[in-house]
Structure 1
C-alpha cells in the first residue's frame, strides 16, 4: 500500500493582540473595580489611567460613601494629604456614610462646614473612626452635626483633651449611638510615676440604642459602672480597661449579669488583670 504523504502547513507566529482600550471598559464594571481599590488607591493611581477613568472617579459619588484614608496624625498635617482628604469628602457630594482615618480640628470642621450653612448637618454619616485627633471641644461640636451617627471610634490625645468629661460630652451629642469605642492614645498615658486615666464622672446620658461600649484606659468606680448600666438598657457588650476602684455589691452584680459580654479591670492595684463575665445566655453572634 502506497504511503500517502500529507503536507504540513508551515507554522506562523500568532498575530499580536491589539492594545486594550481601557477607556471602553463599561462604567458598572469600572465602579466595581474602584470600590475594591478604595479611596487612596483611586486618588494616587487609578484615576490617572485615562480621561474616562478620571471622569468616573471624580463624578461618581457612590465611590466615596466609605472613605478610609488610612493616614496617621503626622501625614494628615501635610498639605497634599489634607487636600486629598478634602477632595474625597467633596466627591461624596454629601453621601459619605463612613469616614475612617486620622483627623485634626481643621479637618473635622471641614467635614461639616462644607455644607451650605453653619446650621446644616452631615445627613448620611453613620460611622466615624478617628485613629488620632486632638480631642478638643471642636470635636464635640462636630458630633452635634451628625444626626444619624451610629458607630463612633475615637482615640483622643489624653493631655490635649480639653473637655473634662469627654465620655459624657460624646454621649450627650450622640444619644442614638449603637457602638462607641474610646481609646486614649498610649503615648499620652504615662506621666511621672503614675499611669494617667480618664475618670468616668458626672451623670451618664441615657443611651437607648447603645449595644457595644469600649472604654480603654479609664478609671472606673462602682458608681461609674452603675451609672453606665442604668443608662444603657440594651447594652450587650461592655469592655473597660484601666483600673477599678470600688466594691461590687449584690445589686451591682445583678446588673452586670444582664450584659451578655462584660470585661472590667480587676482592681486599681492589679490593673493588668481583667475580670471577664459572660452571661449564660450570651450569643456568639457578632454585633
Structure 2
C-alpha cells in the first residue's frame, strides 16, 4: 500500500470583478468658459435673451451686457406673441447694447422706417440686413438709409409690400460690396389675379421687368440672387445674366412669367451652379420668411381646406371682408355648412356695424344646420328666439355679457333646445328660474358654465337665496360632466347638493365662490370625487371670462371682478419696456401711472354695463383704490368720468 498520496483539489470560486458603475456628473453651467457660454446664448435669439436668458444668473447677465454679444441681432418672431411697439422698443435696446459693433440684423413683422434709420445711424458696419414682412418700411425709408450701408454684403427683402424697384436701384448704387440679394414677393396679390376681379388692370411687360432691370444696372457684383415670386420676363432675366457675370446661384421659383424659351434655360444651366426654376418645389429651399408657410395662390386650395381655414376667421370678419375677396371664397361662404358654427363674439366695440342684424343674417345662411352659436355683449331675447325658431339642432350655446337676455326670453326658448350639450351663461341678467327650466328641457346637457358677478347686494343676504342656483342645478342637471360656477354665492350646503345629485361630475370650477369653506371633509370629498377641481382662491389667469385691455401698454386680460383686489405685485404694463427698470421688468409703476385709462375704455363697457356689474360711479372709489394711485394722477373726475 505504498502508493503516492493523493492531494485533494481545492476549487476556489472565481473572483468576480465589480461591474463599473457609471456616475453621471451633473453639469454645472457656470463652469463653462465665457466664450462657450456666449456661443450658446447667441442661439437663443435676441428676444429670448432679453426676456429670460439674461435673468438666469449673474454670469449670464454679465455676458449679455458685453457689446460683442450684440454684433448679431435676430428679431424674428411670428407677429403674435408681442405687440409691435414692444418689439420695436426691444430692438432699439438691443442696438444700443451693441455699442456700434452691429454687423448682422434681422427684423420680422414690426420694422418701420424710423427703426431702420435708428439702426443705420447707430451702426456703420452693417454687413447683413434682413427685412421680413415689414409692411411699414417703404421705398423712401430704405432709400434714405442706403448711403449708410456702404459695407453691406447681404440683403434680404421678403414680403415687404411697399418697397419697390426704385429702392433696389438706390441700394445697388450705394452698396458696392453687395454679394447676396433676396427680393421675394407674393406671386398672387389681390390686384394681380384675373379671376378675382372683373376689371383687372394688366401690367405691361416693361413694368414686370422693373425689378430685374434695377438689379442688372446696379448690382454687377452679385454672387447669389433670389427672386421668389417675381414677375420678371425672359427679357429681364437676360439682362441680369448679361450684367451680373459673377452669379453662382439663382432662385427663380414661382416666377411664372418666365418662359425660359430659346437658349435661355440652357444658358442658365451652363452659367449658374445652383439654379431653381419657376416650377421647382418650394419645400426646404431656404425661403427665409416665416410667411413662407402659406400658399400664395389661395384659389388653388381644395374647397374643404379653404372652408376649414375660413371657419377660423369668425362670422363678423367673414361677412365684413373675407367673402368679398374672390368669387371662390364668396361661393364657399354662401354654403350653409360654413355656418354650422357661428362665433359672434366681439369686444363691445360695434362702431357702425349692426351686429344683431348681422346675426339674423348668418342664422338664415345656416339654413337650419346651426349647431354652435356664441354671442358677446349684444344678445337679446328677440335674437335668441330667432335662433331657436330656425335651428332645432343646437348643441352648444355661449352667452356672455348679454344683459338684454331676460328670464322670460331664456325660458321661452329652453324647450326648443332638446339636443343642447354645452351651455355657457356668463354675466347675464337671468336667474335660477331659467337654470331650472333649462335643466328640465335639456336632458343631454353635459357642460354648464354659470358665471355671475361677485358683488353682493342686500337682496342676497338671505342664506337660502345664496344657494338657489346650486339647488336648481342639483335638482335638474343630473347628467353634468363639467360645471363652472365662477363668482357664485353658493355655500357648503349648496355644493353638497350638487355633489350628491350630479354623480357624473368630472370638472368643477369654483373660483371666486368665497362663501365656501373647503378646509374640512367637504374639501376632501371634492378632491376625491372631482378629477379637475378649481378652488375659490385659484388663479384666474387662464379663465375664459376675461376682457382685453386695448390701447394701453401690452394687451392684458382679466375679469372685471379682479379689479376689486388687483395684486400689488403685478403691474399694469406686464412687460414694461421702458427706460427705467430694464426689459420685462415688473417692478415699477411709472408706466402704469402714465397710461391710466378710464374704466369704460379699460373694460370696453359703457356706463350702463358698469352699473350692471356693480362698478357704477357710486362704488368706484371704494372698489378701485388698490388699482389706481389717485395721489399723483389728478382728480377722480379725470380718471373715471
TM-score (norm 2): 0.33
> Does the aligned pair in 1 maintain the 2:344–2:374 contact within 8 Å?
yes
Rg comparison, structure with higher value: 2
Deviations 1:107-139 (A, max 9, x none): 1111113x3xxxxxx332111111222342211
Take 1:17 and 1:84, find their aligned partners in 2: how far apart are those partners?
A: 42
Between structures 1 and 2, the one with greater strand share: 1
- Aligned position for 1:230: 500
Local SS of the residue matching 2:513: strand
Take 1:107 and 1:88, find their aligned partners in 2: how far apart are those partners?
A: 12
- Residues 1:43 and 2:319 aligned together: yes
Deviations 1:136-183 (A, max 9, x none): 2211322321111111111133xx43x454443432332321111111
- What is the correspondence of 1:239-250 to structure 2 with a 5 Å cutoff? 239-240=509-510, 241-244=512-515, 250=521
RMSD: 3.8
Deviations 1:58-87 (A, max 9, x none): 2x11211111112256739x7621121111
- 1:264 to partner: Cα distance: 4.4
Number of residue equivalences: 242
- What is the correspondence of 1:251-270 to structure 2 with a 5 Å cutoff? 253-254=524-525, 257-265=528-536
> Does the aligned pair in 2 maintain the 1:190–1:196 contact within 8 Å?
no
- Aligned position for 1:279: none
Deviations 1:33-77 (A, max 9, x none): 42243322221112112444323312x11211111112256739x
- Aligned position for 2:346: 71
Take 1:183 and 1:148, find their aligned partners in 2: how far apart are those partners?
A: 22
Local SS of the residue matching 1:144: helix
- Residues 1:127 and 2:127 aligned together: no
Distance 1:109-1:196 versus aligned 2 partners, 3 A rule: farther
- Aligned position for 1:90: 364
- Residues 1:205 and 2:475 aligned together: yes
TM-score (norm 1): 0.69
- 1:223 to partner: Cα distance: 2.2
- Residues 1:104 and 2:380 aligned together: yes
Distance 1:68-1:247 versus aligned 2 partners, 3 A rule: closer
Give runs of ≥4 in structure 1 deviating > 6 Å: 20-25, 194-198, 246-249
> Does the aligned pair in 2 maintain the 1:133–1:156 contact within 8 Å?
yes
- 1:214 to partner: Cα distance: 0.8
Distance 1:81-1:144 versus aligned 2 partners, 3 A rule: same
> Does the aligned pair in 2 maintain the 1:128–1:152 contact within 8 Å?
yes
> Does the aligned pair in 2 maintain the 1:150–1:178 contact within 8 Å?
yes
- Aligned position for 2:417: 146
- Residues 1:219 and 2:477 aligned together: no
Q: What 5-or-longer segments of structure 1 have no aligned partner?
A: 1-10, 116-121, 267-271, 273-287
- Residues 1:180 and 2:432 aligned together: no
Take 1:131 and 1:92, find their aligned partners in 2: how far apart are those partners?
A: 22
More RCO (CA 8 Å, sep 6+) = 1
Between stretches 198-207 and 65-74, larger displacement belongs to: 198-207
> Does the aligned pair in 2 maintain the 1:214–1:239 contact within 8 Å?
yes
Between structures 1 and 2, the one with greater helix share: 2
> Does the aligned pair in 2 maintain the 1:176–1:207 contact within 8 Å?
no
